[in-house]
Amino acid sequence: MDISVAGTGYVGLVTGVCLASRGHKVTCVETDRQKLAALRAGEPPIFEPGLRALMAESAANLTFTDDYAGAYKNAEVIFISVGTPERGDGYANLKYVYDAAEQIAASAESGCTVVMKSTVPMGTCEKLEKFFACHAGENVRIDVASNPEFLSQGTAVRDFLNEQRLVFGVRSASAEKVLRAVYAGFTKPVIVTDPQTAEMIKYASNNFLALKISFINEIANICELVGADVDTVSYGMGLDKRIGEKFLRAGIGYGGSCFPKDTLALHWLAKYHDYELKTVKAAIEVNENQRIRLIKKLRKYHKSVEGLRVAVLGLTFKPGTDDLREAPSVMNINILLEEGAAVTVWDPVAVPRVKAMFGDQVGYADTIERAVEGTDACLVLTEWEEIKNFDLKKFKHLMKTPLILDGRNCFDLRAAAEAGITYDSIGRKRVTPAPDGSCA
Ligand code: UDX
């Protein structure tokens, strides 16, 4: 099929490349010149494992262009996968969606199916269909379908090719037929429903996962008070198939481009309909507090943050990506700087992006050893393998005060005790060196 994709961010590019790998002729539209040049040179502008290789393999079926009119003119299917950042009030900003819709309406010369991949509030597809009915050329029928994605950054290619389910939100048999042809060969269950329900499946899924994380984070906070171990609690809960083991890892809170935005958007949407979504509201509040949990802990160990030398290990919102959107690191670094700490950061992939954000306000280390050398405290914010495999004894030798505040529970408590450091993680017992220098 002839498929065009509007937007080459995480979702758009992965969608385009994966569909090209399945034999479709895919044209991806990108108007940013620098990004376009990189894409044409086979270089994905994002860090996503497996993407570059699949791009190279599927090159014969892939075109990158800034000529949107040419791309939309005769496409059978057009995916919209542009950003929907939250507005100041929490509602999803649909400017880029409508920009793409205007371009499609102005360019499409034959009927086509526009497929919404971006996460949009319920009712958006219906509005878009009305928009096309008014603005597309005479005799050009444009169907709109919702086909939400469930890709996680870091495993997006694998997730796309092995989707656990496909959701088709359609209002006509022809749109369903088109989507079935796009995904021919995918063997996963297909849910065919109306666009509103499809859009809600996406929001409800992300909100439920966010809720699960906030729930376990609250349990972790109580575990600390009563001396229980949250990792074992999660394990024990997860063995119950009704609960499931996934998204029960306690930590410094959820970040990224989806959960914070989608929880706010659903909460906003409910409010708009005069309904208070109490569970989601609680998840948002818990997450906001969780993000500053390590700073609160730091204040307990050092009377003042001013003048402290602090290392921050791990900057991305999760491992396997260079994405800093809603990463707890950004907020934590800002607070540390505001309170007068000297901050040195380490991350295996995100340093260029952090440099663009913080410039020379923080120090950049190319190894974990250099980051922690001479520091008074170390905050662990992303569970990169390099951090998890770091020898804890080095903290004791390299740091001025070996205080590790771990927001991702990267280390074993016994190993921390043996290393003779102060180790405070999330929802687990605190480890402190015994006064006589032996292990506590
Ligand atoms: C998420 C959804 O998983 C995906 O289906 C959707 O399409 C987009 O949003 P993503 O944002 O890439 O994907 O990351 P995910 O792996 O879901 O993690 C989100 C955040 O939750 C991260 O900050 C992660 O550290 C945190 N998290 C996740 C936890 O704190 N604990 C967990 O148990 C799982």
Whether residues 363 and 274 share a domain: the answer is no
Q: Output the pTM of the full model.
A: 0.93
Please write the tens of the pLDDT for every residue from 148-184. Answer: 999 998 899 999 998 889 999 999 999 999 999 999 9
Whether residue 251 has its Cβ less than 6 Å from ligand 1 = yes
Do 148 and 85 share a structural domain? yes
Q: Rounded distance, CA 294 to CA 300, Å? A: 10
* 130 and 17 co-located in one domain: yes
Domain match, 56 and 182 both? yes
Q: Let me know whether 150 and 19 are in one domain.
A: yes
Q: What is the mean pLDDT of the chain?
A: 94
- Is the shortest distance between the CB of 248 and ligand 1 below 6 Å? yes
* 314 and 354 part of one domain: yes
Asked whether residue 432 is domain-assigned, the answer is no
Kindly state whether residues 349 and 412 are assigned to the same domain: yes
* Beta carbons within 10 angstroms of residue 241's beta carbon: 7
pLDDT at 260 over 60: yes
Question: Is the confidence at residue 438, as pLDDT, over 60?
Answer: no
Q: What are the beta bridge partners of residue 416?
A: none
Which atom of ligand 1 has the smallest separation from the CA of 326? 23
Closest residue CA from atom 1 of ligand 1: 152
For residue 86, how far is the Cα from the chain centroid? 14
Is residue 258 annotated as a catalytic residue, yes or no?
A: yes
Assigned domain for 436 exists: no
From the candidates 18, 125, 258, 378, give the one annotated as an active-site residue: 258
Do 166 and 183 fall within a single domain? yes
Residue 228: which domain range?
202-290
**Is residue 333, in this structure, part of any structural domain at all?**
yes
The model's confidence at residue 91, banded by pLDDT at 50, 70 and 90, is confident
For the stretch 325-337, pLDDT in tens is 999 999 999 999 9
Q: State the distance from the centre of ligand 1 to the C-alpha of 213, rounded, in angstroms.
A: 9
Whether 117 lines ligand 1, by a CB cut-off of 6 Å, is: no
Domain termination residue (choose one: 236, 262, 290): 290
Number of domains in the chain: 3
Domain boundary among 173, 193, 213: 193
For ligand 1, say whether the CB of 254 is within 6 Å of any of its atoms: yes
Mean pLDDT of 40-57: 93
pLDDT the model gives residue 439: 40
Residue nearest to atom 16 of ligand 1 (CA): 152
**CATH code: domain of residue 60:** 3.40.50.720
How far is ligand 1, taken at its centre, from the CA of residue 153, in Å? Answer: 8
Known binding-site residue numbers for substrate: 202, 247-251, 255, 318
Sign of the torsion formed by the C-alpha atoms of 330, 335, 336 and 340: positive
User: Residue of the nearest CA to atom 32 in ligand 1?
Assistant: 247
Q: What is the mean pLDDT of residues 213-236?
A: 98
Q: Are residues 42 and 186 in the same domain?
A: yes
How far apart are the CA of 18 and the centre of ligand 1, in A? 21
**Same domain flag for 366 and 274:** no
**ipTM, two decimals:** 0.99
pLDDT band, very low/low/confident/very high, at 90 (cuts 50, 70, 90): low
Q: Is 318 in the pocket of ligand 1 (CB under 6 A)?
A: yes
Residue closest via CA to ligand 1's atom 31 equals 249
Question: Mean pLDDT, to the nearest integer, of 405-414?
Answer: 98
Same domain, 72 and 154: yes
pLDDT grade for 440, boundaries at 50, 70 and 90? very low
Structure confidence by residue, pLDDT tens digits, 329-372: 999 999 999 999 999 999 999 999 999 999 999 999 999 999 99
